[in-house]
Amino acid sequence: MNMREKSASDSLCIAHLSDPHLTSLHGARWWQLINKRWLGYRSWRRKRRDQHSSEVLDALLQDLRATCPEHVLITGDLTHIALPDEFRQARRWLDRLGSGETVSVIPGNHDAYVRTAWRKTWAHWLPYMESDPAWRSPGRGRKLFPSLRVRNGVALIGLSSAVPTAPLVANGRLGARQRERLVRILRQTGERGLFRLVFLHHPPRPQDENWRRRLTDGSALCEILCREGAELVLHGHGHINARTSIDCASGEIPVYGIPSASAVGHKPGHCAQYYVYRLLRAQGHWQVQVNVRGWQPEAGVFAPVGEHQLRVPAMPSTNC
């Protein structure tokens, strides 16, 4: 896909999509399913394979050619049960979407369904997950995160909340090491006056999910975001629209969650959507134009379903 050329000013057009669950399990072997994956496989056969459609994803790719974002963020759950072949399928789809330079991916709980070998799974997505060279640190798997990519005055800060969990549990966790690095990244990018966009799979606020599906260290994350500051937080996981905020002494941090990018809409409020954010630095603040585009089953295309604006205070720029 052709992405728009970068402009020199502090402005960026970003598309956010999530939870495409784009893989097929038709080739799965019985011996690959002798653990928690068996439950996930049964769930896929009974309902999930009808809830997520490649036709919707093809229409989404077509629509992205028209909206033409400079960068695409994908907040996890590309797979169903994290089989090695699913990671290869997802990589082929990512290649259709764009290069690792213009597409950023973080994993979701389904991408860490059970413990897997890095080489056979997440390694396929490395170009889409790793930080810009200047911010890269040694490590693989969850040690890649927080990832940091800087584009036109915007710091794209990716967190991984994907950890293997017990059957019927879909919790996420960042862990102390990732939270400590996040503090440093928020501080450094804030001092440079960048727009800090944090993206992760699970909703950051623990109260926004039940105990089996929440981010277990979400309270600690919210404390860090309040203390160090962030301009916008994006997530997936719930497969529904969720507009909330993290309330801090200094103001509110907007938090946006979105439906699955491939959902045909069997349940009310679950029809596929993606969001387009146009960020523009103005005098002392950032203007954020938010456009929501949704799947229209009758027409077989994505079309506008909502829009609004945010005004976000800008950190003073010191050296960017």
Binding site for Fe ion (CB under 5 A): 19, 77, 108-109, 237
Which residues, 6 or more positions from 215, have their beta carbon under 8 angstroms from its beta carbon?
Answer: 161, 171, 172, 173, 174, 200, 202, 203, 204, 206, 209, 221
**Least spacing, CB of residue 275 vs Fe ion, in Å:** 16
**Least spacing, CB of residue 249 vs Fe ion, in Å:** 31
The CA distances from residue 128 to 89, 104, 211, in Å, are 14, 5, 30
**Least spacing, CB of residue 282 vs Fe ion, in Å:** 35
Nearer to Fe ion, 195 or 256 (CB): 256
**Least spacing, CB of residue 251 vs Fe ion, in Å:** 29
Q: Are 304 and 292 in contact (CB under 8 A)?
A: yes
Q: How many Cα atoms sit within 13 Å of 10 on the Cβ side? A: 21
d(CA 45, CA 109): 19
Handedness of CA 151, 232, 182, 319 (dihedral sign): positive
**Least spacing, CB of residue 284 vs Fe ion, in Å:** 37
**Least spacing, CB of residue 154 vs Fe ion, in Å:** 25
Nearer to Fe ion, 237 or 293 (CB): 237
The per-residue DSSP string of 210-252 comes to -TTTSBTTHHHHHHHHHHH--SEEEE-SSSS-EEEEEEETTEE
Nearer to Fe ion, 19 or 85 (CB): 19
Nearer to Fe ion, 151 or 239 (CB): 239
Burial call 168-195: b when 16+ CB within 10 Å, e when fewer:
eebbbbbeeebbebbeebbeebbebbbb
Nearer to Fe ion, 109 or 131 (CB): 109
d(CA 238, CA 136): 30
d(CA 260, CA 19): 5
**Least spacing, CB of residue 209 vs Fe ion, in Å:** 10
Nearer to Fe ion, 18 or 102 (CB): 18
Nearer to Fe ion, 81 or 154 (CB): 81
d(CA 251, CA 229): 10
